[in-house]
Structure 1
Amino acid sequence: MTHHVDVHVGKRIRHRRWMVGMTQQQLAEKVGIKFQQIQKYETGMNRVSASRLWDIGSALSVPVSYFFEGVEQTEEASDVSAGLDTADDAALPGDLLADREALELVRSYYAIPENQRRRLFDLARVLSDTAAA
């Protein structure tokens, strides 16, 4: 059985890898392991040792602490998505980090120059307010 912290760390690895545009194969080569092992880490099937997490963090240009950000909220979030439903949360998928489309959208968004990005953000806000009305 997987531990929620292992699953969380794996999701953070996948999220960061997607954000920097790296494949599992590329990350595996940088770390010196097979890509299948990266797959197992990302699903939480296998635990990541401290030294391996250090190597992965270096390859992805983040400190080891990055992989644990939000871990204390992981169980609370699953409790919320299982029972409570607020108006804002009802429209969102349970785990945005697991949604490849959302991650690609975020990556593309931050590739846009800041002044244009601000205008796009304002447009998206107007469109979402219109859709909700």
Structure 2
Amino acid sequence: MALDDAAGPDPVDIAIGARMRLRRKSLGISQGALADQIGVSFQQVQKYERGANRVSGSTLVAVAAALDTTVGWLVGEEGAISDAADDIVQALAVSGAVDLLEAFVDIPKASARTALVALAREMAVPRSS
């Protein structure tokens, strides 16, 4: 069966990109710095992280080394990652999600954090199951 580009990025590519972004952000590495380490443009790193472009095997090994992790972790094969954990990785892959979480953690008042969660829930569009 031929791949259909019109159908959008492959879910596996999106999951790998999400893990790349999560790990990169947790280490405080910019897309440009990662790009320099693996020998691609920062735009290419953006495409990898969105799942728009597939990461070749050799590049995946270079990314894992640059992010001080394993290829197994990047592809979701290490550890018994539950569906819930995978959902969290996917949610954190959304642009701005990690930034929002980092800011949320820095809010000192519990009541303010609760208010922010209530606001976000009010603004959210319910997901279909």
Q: TM-score range by the shorter chain?
A: 0.5 to 0.7
> Greater helix percent: which structure?
1
Match of 2:25 among 10, 14, 18: 18
Letter of the structure 2 residue corresponding to residue 95 of structure 1: A
Query: For residue 65 of structure 1, what is the aligned residue in structure 2?
Result: 72
Identity, % of aligned pairs? Answer: 34
In structure 2, the partner of 1:27 is: 34
* Aligned residue-pair number: 100
Unaligned runs of 5+ in 1: 78-91, 110-119
Root-mean-square deviation (CA), in Å?
Answer: 3.4
Instruction: Provide the residue aligned with 2:91 in structure 1.
Output: 95
Superposition pairs of residues 1-133 of structure 1, within 5 angstroms: 1-69=8-76, 73=83, 77=87, 95-98=91-94, 99-104=97-102
Q: Give me the TM-score of the superposition, normalised by structure 1.
A: 0.60
Aligned residue in 2 for 1:116: none
How far does the alpha carbon of each residue in 1:28-61 deviate from its partner, in whole angstroms, 9 at most, with x for none?
Answer: 0000111110010000000001110000000000
Gap runs ≥5 in structure 2: 1-7, 119-129
Q: Runs of at least 4 residues of structure 1 off by over 6 A?
A: none
